[in-house]
Amino acid sequence: MKRLFIILTGILYIVLSTGFGFEVHAEQNNTLRSDYSLFETSGSARIQNKIQTAQSGTWKNDSNGWWYEYKDGSYPKNQLLKIGNDVYLFNGSGYMTTGWANISNKWYYFLDSGAMAKNWQLISGSWYYLKNGVMVTGERNIDGSDYYFEADGRMASGWKNIDNHWYYYGSSGAKAASQWIGDYYVKADGTMAANEWVDNHQYFVDSSGKWIPDYGKPQWKADANGWWYDNGDGTYPRSEWKMIQGVWYYFDGSGYMATGWRNIDNSWYFFDGSGRMLTDQ
C-alpha cells in the first residue's frame, strides 16, 4: 500500500492507495483521525455530494465490512446512495463508510449503521449539528435559539469572544440574553455589558463587565486618614459643607470629614467624633 503525506492548514493528510482508489485520513493534534475520510477514484474526480437513489439490491458483508450489491452483481463505489429512508456513503472499494467524511469540502458524519447523520448528534463527547447532513460552523439559529459552532463543528458552551464581543452559551449551547451570568450581565442581543448600567438601570458593571456592588449608592468610606463620603459616582465632597440624613458635616480639602473645632470662612464650628456639627451646646 502506497502512502503520500500532505500538510494543509496545519493538518497532516495521509493518502493511502488501496488498489481500488484512494483513501485520505487526517492527523490532527498528533492523533491519526481514521474516522476522517475523503474518497476519490483513481483517475477520476472526487466524490460529489449528489445523492443517487439505489436500485433494488441486497446488503452483504465480509470481514472488511458491508456493501450493497445489485441484482446484476455490481455494487456502488465512491458514491452517496439513498437506500430506503437513509443515505449511505460507499468508498472506492465499495464498502459502506462510517464516521466523518469530507465530500466536496463539506463534512458529513455516518453512524455505525452507515446511515448519514442529521440534525443534532453527540459524537465523541461533543455536540454537532448537521443541517441536511452537512456539519455547520459559526453562528447558527436553530429552532429559535442561537448557537455557535467551532471551526471543527463542535458546539460551543461557556464564554466565547466573537468579533471582540463576549457572549455566553449555556450548557445546552443556547446563547444567553438579558440575564446575569455570575457577576456579569448579557444584554438582549447576547453581548456582555461593560462600563454601563444594566438590568433596568439597577446595577453598574465595570469595563471588564463585572458588577460593582453599591456603585451609585452614596455611602461613607474610611481609610487610615479618616472618613469621607462617596457621592455614589466616584466623586466626594471637598472643602464644602454637606447635609447627610438631616445632619451637617464639613469635609476638608482632601475630602476627609472634620471633627473637633474648625475655623471655616472665619467662623468657628465644633464637630463631634462622628463628624456631626453641634449647635447651641
Residue with the three cell numbers 493518502:
15
Position 249 scores a pLDDT of 97
Confidence of residue 252 (pLDDT cuts 50, 70, 90): very high
d(CA 115, CA 272): 85
Position 55 scores a pLDDT of 79
pTM higher than 0.85: no
Position 37 scores a pLDDT of 47
235 vs 4, more confident = 235
Residue 9 has pLDDT above 50, yes or no: no
Position 236 scores a pLDDT of 93
User: What are 164-210's pLDDT values in tens digits?
Assistant: 999 999 999 999 999 999 999 999 999 999 999 999 888 999 999 99
Position 32 scores a pLDDT of 38
Position 64 scores a pLDDT of 92
Position 50 scores a pLDDT of 74
Average pLDDT, the chain: 85
Position 13 scores a pLDDT of 53
User: What are 112-167's pLDDT values in tens digits?
Assistant: 999 999 999 999 999 999 999 999 999 999 999 999 999 999 999 999 999 999 99
Q: How far is CA 177 from CA 111, 185, 186, 195, 271, in A?
A: 34, 8, 5, 18, 51
Residue 86 has pLDDT above 70, yes or no: yes
Position 202 scores a pLDDT of 87
Position 216 scores a pLDDT of 77
Mean pLDDT across the stretch 18-32? 45
Q: What letters, b where the CB count within 10 A reaches 16 and e where it falls short, cover 71-103?
A: eeeebbbbbbbebeeebbbbbbbbbbbbbbbbb
In degrees, to the nearest 5, what angle opens at C-alpha 30 toward C-alphas 27 and 32? 40
Position 281 scores a pLDDT of 63
Confidence of residue 279 (pLDDT cuts 50, 70, 90): confident
CB neighbourhood size of 247 (10 A): 11
142: amino acid identity, one letter: I
What's the grid cell of residue 14?
A: 495521509
Position 214 scores a pLDDT of 79
Residue 36 has pLDDT above 70, yes or no: no
Position 42 scores a pLDDT of 35
Confidence of residue 28 (pLDDT cuts 50, 70, 90): very low
